[in-house]
Structure 1
Amino acid sequence: MNHLTIAPVDADSGPVLEVGGDLDYATAPTLRAAVTALAPAAGQLLLLDLGGLTFCDSSGIAVFVAARNHAAAHGAELALAAVPPQTVRVLGVTGLAQVLSMYDHADSAVAAHLSRR
């Protein structure tokens, strides 16, 4: 089991959380709390950089949906970056890949968001 790490970072597009380790039933509340502690401004991007994620169960997937709802409540957008292949597969099977914006890299997500301004 890999300990969950969450590192807040600021980007030109808005707040970023770099997430690493295992995201499961025991650790999902920690990520949910970190997301809800953020108050992205209207028009900003709330980015979850999952490049360090080693495991994600359904509790983690639920946090992604909650993060999308949280961002929308603030008039912001949510994007996921560097999503591990097994998590991409689950998002695809559940249909969430069509709802959640995903990018190969955090820089790509930031650039795409800034280009739409």
Structure 2
Amino acid sequence: MVSGVTRRSGEEPAAGGERFGVATRHRGGTVVISLSGELDHDTAEPLRHALAQEVRAGARRIVVDCGGLHFCDSTGLNVLLHGRLDAQEGGGRVDLAALRPPVARMFEITGAQAVFRLYAGVDEALADERTL
């Protein structure tokens, strides 16, 4: 597990008392990266690192589980978009699962939902066997 930035006073902690957390696991041929807490300018580096590491390792499919993500700003969105492009260059893809309403709204407003495959949950994403 890659951990994130320690929470600041008044903010809801992610799992383990951190402000943001990233956990990676492998499910069959798919990498699942689970996010928790707040993804923003101050916390984006662990996600950037996790995506880059999996792309360098040759992951063909990465599902980002956003079920524990409470907030995402433009920096977080850019990390996900760049991760998607990096994966595509290597012949892979990045999909998103379990977007909560505030995070989903940002993807709608920016039009970013059009470039990702979106799933209601991780199980649904893993069950989708469409080719890249």
- Give the C-alpha shift of residue 41 in structure 1: 3.7
The equivalent of 1:69 in structure 2 is 85
SS in structure 2 opposite 1:37? helix
1:4 aligns with 2:20: yes
Matches within 5 A, 1:24-103: 24-39=40-55, 41=58, 44-103=60-119
Structure 2: stretches of 5+ with no match in the other structure = 1-10, 14-18
Partner secondary structure for residue 100 of structure 1:
coil
Scaled by the length of structure 2, the TM-score of the pair is: 0.80
Question: Which 5+ residue runs of structure 1 have no aligned equivalent?
Answer: none
- The corresponding residue for 1:17 is 33
Structure 1 stretches of 4+ moved >4 Å: none
Question: 1:38: how far off?
Answer: 0.9
What is the deviation of 1:84? Answer: 1.1
When the two structures are aligned, how many residues end up with a matched partner?
115
Per-residue deviation, 1:23? 0.4
Identity %: 31
Higher RCO (CA 8 Å, separation ≥ 6 residues): 1
Q: Say which SS state the counterpart of residue 47 (structure 1) adopts.
A: strand
Deviation at 1:13, TM superposition (A): 3.6
> Offset of 1:95 from its aligned partner?
0.9
Distance 2:70 2:105 in 1: 14
**Whole-Å separation in 1 of the counterparts to 2:72 and 2:131:** 30
Contact 1:24 1:56 in 2 (8 A): yes
CA distance in 2, matches of 1:87, 1:79: 15
Residue 122 of structure 2 is matched in structure 1 by 106
